[in-house]
């Protein structure tokens, strides 16, 4: 039923980027697309997909070559994420998690930390996760209550995290904790916590609407002691580093949204050409045509925003002064994907509501993109404050 819409490549992608796009597309259509519905239905971690991406060098496609990566930057990462997300929103999470768990390490870690963890993530010998959100502190990061206290040569961590992606399969978690409880966002430090640390445990696996192939869990730290050298970056400066890391991450989340919406459009086009109503394919009815046209326009606009943001990351333009561009790319793409998914279900009518077609899965997965890495509402606050220089 898939009917692909080809468009001119934005920004005149380089030959290696075009080759990457073609390779990932073929890989996804052959190996990932047939598994997408089963991954969602079974709610089982797709180890085979992880190994596939590992074998193809895609887990570290965005890492510098010095760490064993593909050296294709965040633009390359976004291209790969987008192509995979056209059929399966779960599978690109493996690339996204490698990006997310490595951001503060890449930005402020020691040379030894970068070499060990970024190389391990790139070659698949290590799996990482990231923990900031707590039951009472999501977007309000300054209100986290997890504490880290220096006791001799060890940091001892106590607290709870929630909505952590993939920690049950991770070898380490990049964890935000308060090291100065009275200082708000200026009292946060990041730590690398190996998952075999005594006192660390993974709690409840959340039951989710979508994105069901990779777990979302609670985390508990009960006098979890880690070596002093597992501190990442300067003491109490973690929040600033994390915000720069989020600027880097937002194009990647936007790429997931663009890929998902492209998958919706491709499927809806094919269905509209085959399904008949009133004696003609529904594609000949203006109401359907307008929905398809709007979907196409919105996807093209979102893709350009995401690719520009990715290009800015690769150019090192990731500071606070440019936060509006990263938040714009993520927000526009996320909201666009949700609208596209809802319209895709509508185009299929009753069939769109059934699990025989991927539309209902696309719709459930799209909602998650509007929430992760800062909700669409929080992103609008960031954009406005950045414009107003607040």
- What does residue 280 show for φ and ψ, rounded to 5 degrees? -140, 160
Catalytic residue among 82, 83, 218, 373, which? 373
Q: In angstroms, rounded to a whole number, what is the distance separating the alpha carbons of residues 39 and 122?
A: 24
For every residue of 66-97, DSSP letters joined together read GGTS---HHHHHHHHHHHHHTT-SSTTHHHHH
Are residues 14 and 69 in contact, defined by beta-carbon separation less than 8 angstroms? no
Are residues 264 and 341 in contact, defined by beta-carbon separation less than 8 angstroms? yes
- What does residue 27 show for φ and ψ, rounded to 5 degrees? -60, -45
Taking each continuous run of H as one helix and of E as one strand, the counts in the chain are: 12, 10
Cβ neighbours for 379, distance < 8 A, ≥ 6 positions apart: 250, 327, 328, 330, 331
Are residues 6 and 303 in contact, defined by beta-carbon separation less than 8 angstroms? no
Known catalytic residue at 373: yes
Q: Which residues are catalytic?
A: 373
């Amino acid at each position: 039923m898939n009917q692909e819409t080809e468009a001119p490549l934005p920004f005149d992608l380089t030959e290696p980027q075009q080759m990457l796009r073609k390779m990932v597309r073929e890989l996804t259509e052959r190996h990932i697309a047939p598994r997408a519905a089963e991954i969602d239905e079974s709610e089982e971690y797709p180890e085979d997909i992880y190994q596939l991406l590992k074998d193809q060098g895609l887990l570290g496609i965005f890492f510098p070559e010095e760490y064993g990566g593909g050296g294709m930057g965040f633009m390359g990462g976004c291209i790969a994420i987008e192509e995979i997300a056209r059929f399966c929103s779960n599978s690109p999470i493996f690339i996204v998690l490698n990006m997310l768990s490595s951001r503060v390490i890449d930005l402020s870690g020691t040379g030894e930390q970068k070499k060990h963890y970024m190389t391990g993530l790139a070659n698949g010998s290590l799996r990482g996760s990231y923990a900031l959100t707590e039951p009472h502190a999501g977007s309000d990061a300054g209100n986290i209550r997890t504490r880290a206290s220096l006791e001799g040569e060890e940091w001892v961590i106590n607290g709870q995290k929630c909505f952590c992606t993939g920690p049950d399969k991770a070898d380490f978690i990049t964890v935000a904790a308060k090291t100065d409880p009275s200082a708000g966002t200026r009292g946060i430090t990041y730590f690398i916590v190996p998952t075999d640390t005594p006192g660390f445990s993974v709690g409840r696996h959340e039951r989710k609407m979508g994105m069901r192939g990779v777990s979302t869990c609670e985390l508990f730290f009960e006098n979890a002691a880690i070596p002093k050298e597992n501190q990442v970056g300067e003491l109490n400066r973690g929040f600033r580093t994390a915000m720069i890391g989020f600027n880097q991450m937002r194009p990647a989340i936007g790429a997931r949204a663009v890929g998902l919406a492209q998958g919706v459009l491709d499927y809806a086009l094919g269905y509209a050409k085959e399904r008949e109503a009133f004696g003609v394919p529904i594609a000949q009815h203006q109401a359907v045509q307008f929905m398809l046209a709007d979907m196409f326009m919105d996807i093209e606009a979102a893709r350009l925003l995401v690719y520009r943001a990715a290009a800015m990351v690769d150019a090192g333009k990731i500071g606070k002064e440019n936060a509006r561009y990263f938040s714009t790319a993520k927000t526009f793409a996320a909201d666009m994907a949700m609208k596209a998914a809802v319209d895709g279900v509508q185009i299929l009518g009753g069939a769109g509501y059934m699990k025989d077609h991927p539309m209902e899965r696309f719709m459930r997965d799209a909602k998650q993109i509007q929430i992760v890495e800062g909700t669409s509402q929080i992103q609008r606050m960031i954009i406005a404050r950045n414009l107003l220089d607040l």
